[in-house]
Amino acid sequence: MRYLHTMVRISDIDKSLAFYCDGLGMREMYRTDHEEARFTLIFLAAPDDRRTAAQEKAPLLELTYNWDPQSYDEGRNFGHLAFEVDDIYAICQHLLDKGITINRPPRDGHMAFIRSPDNISIELLQKGEKKAPQEPWASMENTGTW
């Protein structure tokens, strides 16, 4: 498993980049706009991780900007921790066997969400290409929120 990123939701791209980049010295590594889902993802690297992030994929800070105005109460501006896993189906089965709820099963063979005992959302992402959909995951319903 490899730690990938921490996601926080932002309400103003310019103000956030001024804070993280101009203030803290972070650097924008890349961004993606998702028109259909109406959000932008901006990935930042810390000053000492700049070279590493580009070459070895050090953990990044993901800023998520939703195009439609939203209010983030109860800590919803903090999104999730993300980990890349070698086999998403194996890790989800292992977690399930340990009594951990799979809140968003890996129906697509690529992504799943679980929650820590303190309700921190954790995203699990399949390393490399997504796996072919398979049961019981393909038909498993979401449980709770993530």
pLDDT surpasses 70 at 77: no
> 93: Cβ–Cβ under 8 A, 6 or more apart, which residues?
none
Mean pLDDT across the chain: 87
The string of pLDDT tens digits covering residues 100-123 is 899 999 999 999 998 887 687 889
Check if 35 is active-site: no
Model's pTM, two decimal places?
A: 0.67
Q: How confident is the model at residue 35 (pLDDT cuts 50, 70, 90)?
A: very high
The string of pLDDT tens digits covering residues 81-105 is 788 889 999 999 999 998 889 999 9
Q: Catalytic residue, from 28, 123, 135, 141: name it.
A: 123
pLDDT surpasses 60 at 28: yes
Q: How confident is the model at residue 25 (pLDDT cuts 50, 70, 90)?
A: confident
pLDDT at 146: 80
Contact assessment for residue 8 and residue 87, using Cβ atoms and an 8 Å cutoff: no
Phi-psi region of 144 (alpha: psi -120 to 50; beta: other; left: phi over 0): left
- Enumerate domains of the chain plus CATH numbers: 2-66 (3.10.180.10), 86-139 (no CATH)
The string of pLDDT tens digits covering residues 41-72 is 999 888 777 665 556 677 888 999 999 987 76
| Element (DSSP H or E) covering residue 54 | helix 50-56
pLDDT surpasses 70 at 75: no
pLDDT surpasses 80 at 24: no
